[in-house]
Structure 1
Amino acid sequence: MSDWYRDFANSGFGTTITKQLGLPRPAQLRRYEPGQPLLPGPAVVGSAGEGRLRDEVTGLLRDAGVTVVSPVAADGSTDGERLAAVLLDATGLTGPADLAAAHDFLAPALKRLRPSGRVLVLADPPTGTSSPAQAAARQALEGLVRSLAKELRSGSTANLVHVPLGAEGSLASPLRFFLSGRSAYVDGQVLAVTAAELPSAADAEQPLAGKVAVVTGAARGIGAAIARVLARDGAHVVAVDVPAAGEQLAQVANEVGGTAVALDITGDDAGPRLAAQLVARHGGVDVVVHNAGITRDKLLVNMDAARWNSVMAVNLQAQLDLTQALLATDGALKPDARVVCVSSQSGIAGNRGQTNYAASKAGVIGMVRSWAPEFAERGATINAVAPGFIVTEMTAKMPLGTREVGSRLNSLQQGGLPVDVAETIAWLAQPGSAGVNGQVVRVCGQSLLGA
């Protein structure tokens, strides 16, 4: 869907007007397209403290065809074109004094960052440190990155990845994600990786080739976008939705060459039925995306039991029941499966009139974190994606003022697209993302609401 204000603000006349009035000018974001390079220009890699990742990161970039240039000089000059990415290896910080090196590297480099550039900081987690000073320095990076993300303009993003000692092998997948157009609407976020057994390198264009993926709520909106992106990446998609959406569901399944399953996921036998069908027809499932969700908004004091219970049943209980059924059915969930649960920004920050919805989506996050150790023992992962304001047919029906406020209250000054959520889910579904487990990734353009 078109963003009329963004398109106007980037037109010749609109640029002049927005500059004169001091209005925001949202950028056209760099989004992923098959076949495009990881970055549209060179990258620079620097370090603060005795970093241990700089050489490895440089090697990963060069293997991906990225030109790595020398760190910029203090005046912001480089030996060539503007930078597409700035990467800081901040592992090895010993105390707050080491943070000066982060400033000294980042400040001049950012002057050369091109539109839709990427800033990525790699660091040790702030837990398990040898001293309070070291913990302070590591935690300080979170404040630095979240604030920097709010300072960047022209569609650029900044994110932080915690890489504990021993988890270096898990870095390649998040590195590619955060630098690519797949992460266009992921900004100001913190992700942690862990050591994991990684499969052999997959096809970069079709990392899900040969995989079977189940997507609930697949008939429309974000669910349909997820089905399309997973299919594009090589998966056979089993598209699930309620029988009432059967016609739209069949259209989506036919479009992606997948299978349509009309099923009320809140039914008492929905989990066992779906698990049995996946075993019988597909030999089990590799990827499960719990996307189905509903809203029944009302102030808590005016909310009836039906509104509360229906939202909990679809948004939370069904995810619990379906996952448990897949775990309990022999051969249903592959040992190295990827489960991705759709939460929401509302589940993190809350939202007026959505106590039921926010509670259900917060519950999804608790479920993911609790199940993560069990999934790790199987060689599998379970993660959550928390969308912010995503432009869909539903949001298009909102009053203009409400819609505009919702879409602009983030660092990228625009609403996200369903494909932004789908790209993040597809990345978490990749075999190479084995080191990302129990995480919550917000796809919200760094919303100004919540952490």
Structure 2
Amino acid sequence: MADKYAQLVNQGLGRNVAKKLGLPQPAVLRRYQPGEPLITGPILVQGSTAGADTLATQLLAWDLDVRRHPVPREKLGAIILVLDELERPEDLEEPVLVVGASLRDLARGGRVITVSRPASETDSPAAAAARQGLDGFLRSLAKELRAGATGNGVLLAEGVQIASPSALAAVRFFLSGRSAFVDGQFLKISSPSGELPRDPEKPLAGKAAVVTGAARGIGAHIARTLHRDGAAVVLVDLPVAGEHLAAVANEVKGTALQLDITRKDAGQRILEHAVQRHGRLDIVVHNAGITRDKLLANMDQSRWSAVIGINLAAQLRINEALLASEHFRGAPRIVSVASTSGIAGNRGQTNYAASKGGVMGMVRASAPLLAAVGGTINAVAPGFIETEMTERIPFALREIARRANSLQQGGRPADVAEAIAFLASDAAAGINGEVLRVCGQNMVGA
């Protein structure tokens, strides 16, 4: 669905009028295109630790232009602030102010990334204060950025260094156009696991993936993105969506499986299909979901049970079947689609918010189970995404939802798909039990 307002204020007379009236001017975001550079312009790496030196060396190995000190009035593609040894709040002052002085030189669609360690109960009070303070700093800074620039953070758990594959992969993801609608968020790297792809354009080469709810909308875009990144894809959806499902399956050279995922044997049927067609199953994306909105005072059993059954209970049953199978071993990946509604809530969506909040709880509790078989499970929580579903929202409410984030626009289905493809890759093996919000940094609750 096109955002006609955004198109209007980004060209000619509309742009001039919006500027004079002080109207929102959502920028055209820098999104990933195969073959394009990871980022355009130099990257300023700010920090005096060994981790900062290591990261700068790695960026140079990726043939990127790196600066260790600001060059006045030089346009920057990105600023990376490495504070992996924070011990006191006073340690924030100098590097943060250096970054602040460089922000005016950040190019359109630029990136600001922090690399730090999360506050923990074992830290000294001063260290915990400094590390949690950086969290508030980054989220606030992201709200100040303009022209399609974003700010995100990489958190290194105890024992994880910046040179670990998943830490480098997270930096690369945040630098790239794949993270266009991810803003004000943190990704925690919980282990040094992972393997950077030999071919960054095909990070899923040789993998077999299943996507539920794949006939249209976000699910179809997920299937396309996984295929683009090298995976063989099994597309799952209801028999009633068979025609659309077959069309997308043909487009991505995948196979279609018409299946109601609420069936008790759905997990087993998915496994059998994937193994029969591809000899393996590496990735499962739980995308299928529905809404049945009503105020709780008017909610009936059918609306409640349908949403919980499809959005949450089906995922739990399928995951149980996957974990019990010898065919889901090695380095399996599960990625679930949650929602910011499950974080901040939404009027008239008690059932939907409960189901999506439940998905996030399921992901966190299932992380050790996946780790035991060498795998990971994570979730992506979209905010307002331009789909057929959001097109049915009344105009005024739709406009409010579109503008109520730091990027002042709705995301695209491809934005959700890019985040899922990253979390499904071997490079993200050190990320487990996390929820990544793809919401443009919603003003409330994200």
> Normalising TM by the smaller chain, what interval?
over 0.9
Question: Paired residue for 1:224?
Answer: 220
Q: 2:104 aligns with which of 107, 111, 134?
A: 111
- Counterpart residue identity of residue 373, structure 1: P
CA-CA distance at 1:200 after TM superposition = 6.1
Question: Paired residue for 1:82?
Answer: 75
Question: Paired residue for 2:45?
Answer: 45
In 1, the alpha carbon distance for the partners of 2:196 and 2:112 equals 28
Contact 1:52 1:89 in 2 (8 A): no
More deviation in 322-331 or 242-251?
322-331
Question: Paired residue for 1:6?
Answer: 6
Q: 2:418 aligns with which of 411, 414, 423?
A: 423
Q: 1:313 aligns with which of 281, 290, 309?
A: 309
Q: 1:151 aligns with which of 140, 144, 162?
A: 144
What pairs up with 1:370-449 in 2 under 5 angstroms? 370-449=365-444
CA-CA distance at 1:312 after TM superposition = 0.4
Matched, 1:282 2:278: yes
The secondary structure found in structure 2 opposite 1:111 is helix
Q: Deviation per CA, 1:305-338: give whole Å up to 9, x if none.
A: 000000001000011111111111221x132011
- Counterpart residue identity of residue 368, structure 1: V
Matched, 1:299 2:299: no
What pairs up with 1:236-275 in 2 under 5 angstroms? 236-275=232-271
More deviation in 156-165 or 184-193?
156-165
Question: Paired residue for 1:60?
Answer: 58
Question: Paired residue for 1:35?
Answer: 35
What pairs up with 1:342-361 in 2 under 5 angstroms? 342-361=337-356
Q: Deviation per CA, 1:20-44: give whole Å up to 9, x if none.
A: 1111100000000111111111100
In 1, the alpha carbon distance for the partners of 2:335 and 2:222 equals 11
Contact 2:169 2:428 in 1 (8 A): yes
More deviation in 408-417 or 279-288?
279-288
Question: Paired residue for 2:130?
Answer: 137
In 1, the alpha carbon distance for the partners of 2:229 and 2:88 equals 43
The secondary structure found in structure 2 opposite 1:214 is strand
In 2, the alpha carbon distance for the partners of 1:197 and 1:98 equals 30
Contact 2:329 2:374 in 1 (8 A): no
CA-CA distance at 1:143 after TM superposition = 0.5
Across the aligned residues of Structure 1 and Structure 2, the Cα RMSD in angstroms comes to 1.3
CA-CA distance at 1:279 after TM superposition = 2.6
In 2, the alpha carbon distance for the partners of 1:180 and 1:199 equals 18
- Provide the TM-score with structure 1 as the length reference: 0.96
The secondary structure found in structure 2 opposite 1:53 is helix
- Counterpart residue identity of residue 114, structure 1: A
Contact 1:58 1:68 in 2 (8 A): yes
Q: 1:340 aligns with which of 297, 321, 335?
A: 335
- Counterpart residue identity of residue 69, structure 1: R
Question: Paired residue for 2:116?
Answer: 123
Aligned length: 443
CA-CA distance at 1:390 after TM superposition = 0.1
In 1, the alpha carbon distance for the partners of 2:361 and 2:234 equals 26
In 2, the alpha carbon distance for the partners of 1:212 and 1:174 equals 23
The secondary structure found in structure 2 opposite 1:249 is helix
In 2, the alpha carbon distance for the partners of 1:178 and 1:102 equals 20
Unaligned runs of 5+ in 1: none
What pairs up with 1:183-222 in 2 under 5 angstroms? 183-199=179-195, 201-222=197-218
